[in-house]
Amino acid sequence: MSGISLPLPLARAILHPVFRYSMNVRLPWRVQRAALDAEAVLQMSPKGTRVDRLPLGGRATERVTVGRAGSPFALLYLHGGGYTVCSPRTHRPLAAHLAEALDAPVYVPDYRLAPEHPYPAALDDAEAAYLELLSTGLTPEGLAVAGDSAGGGLSLALAQRLRDRHGIRPAALGLIAPWSNPNEVPPRERDLVINRAWSQASAAAYLGDADPLDSGYAPLLGEMSGLPPTYVQVDDGEMLRAQCGRLVAALREADVPTQFSVTRGLWHVAQLQAEMVTPAAAELRALGDFLGEALRTAQTGSIR
Which of 100, 238, 275, 283 is labelled catalytic?
A: 238
Residue 90: pLDDT over 90? yes
238 is catalytic: yes
Number of other residues whose CB lies within 10 A of the CB of residue 224? 22
43-52, 126-135, 195-204, 253-262: range with lowest mean pLDDT: 43-52
CA-based nearest residue to 265, from 256, 275, 254, 273: 273
Any domain includes 214: yes
Check residue 52 and give its pLDDT: 96
Q: How large a percentage of the chain has pLDDT more than 70?
A: 97
Per-residue pLDDT reduced to its tens digit, 208-263: 999 999 999 999 999 999 999 999 999 999 999 999 999 999 999 999 999 999 99
Q: Is residue 1 very low, low, confident or very high in pLDDT (cuts 50, 70, 90)?
A: very low
Q: Is residue 26 very low, low, confident or very high in pLDDT (cuts 50, 70, 90)?
A: very high
Check residue 71 and give its pLDDT: 79
Q: Rounded mean pLDDT of 99-121? A: 97
How many separate domains does the chain show?
A: 1
Check residue 69 and give its pLDDT: 61
Type of residue found at 139: T
Any domain includes 34: yes
Is residue 72 within 8 Å of 80, Cβ to Cβ? no
Any domain includes 204: yes
Q: Rounded mean pLDDT of 47-67? A: 96
Q: Rounded mean pLDDT of 259-274? A: 97
Question: Using N-to-C axis directions, what is the helix angle for 8-22 and 29-39, rounded to 10°?
Answer: 150
Phi, psi of 60 (to 5 degrees): -60, 140
Q: Supply the range of the domain harboring residue 88.
A: 8-303
Q: What is the mean pLDDT of the chain?
A: 95
Check residue 3 and give its pLDDT: 58
Which of 149, 199, 202, 215 is labelled catalytic?
A: 149
Residue 130: pLDDT over 60? yes
Check residue 65 and give its pLDDT: 96
Residue 169: pLDDT over 80? yes
Print burial letters for 179-216: b (CB count within 10 Å at least 16), e (below 16): bbbbebebeeebbbbbbbebbbbbbebbbeeeeeebbb
Which of 62, 202, 268, 283 is labelled catalytic?
A: 268
Residue 291: pLDDT over 70? yes
149 is catalytic: yes
Any domain includes 1: no
Any domain includes 3: no
Any domain includes 153: yes
Check residue 149 and give its pLDDT: 98
The model's pTM is 0.96
Q: Give one word for 77, left, alpha or beta, with left for phi > 0 and alpha for psi -120 to 50.
A: beta
Q: Rounded mean pLDDT of 89-108? A: 96
Write out the E strands in 17-73. 49-56, 59-66
Check residue 2 and give its pLDDT: 43
166 is catalytic: no
105-109, 146-150, 176-180, 300-304: range with lowest mean pLDDT: 300-304
Q: Give one word for 266, left, alpha or beta, with left for phi > 0 and alpha for psi -120 to 50.
A: beta
Check residue 67 and give its pLDDT: 84
- Return the CATH number at 164: 3.40.50.1820
Check residue 147 and give its pLDDT: 98
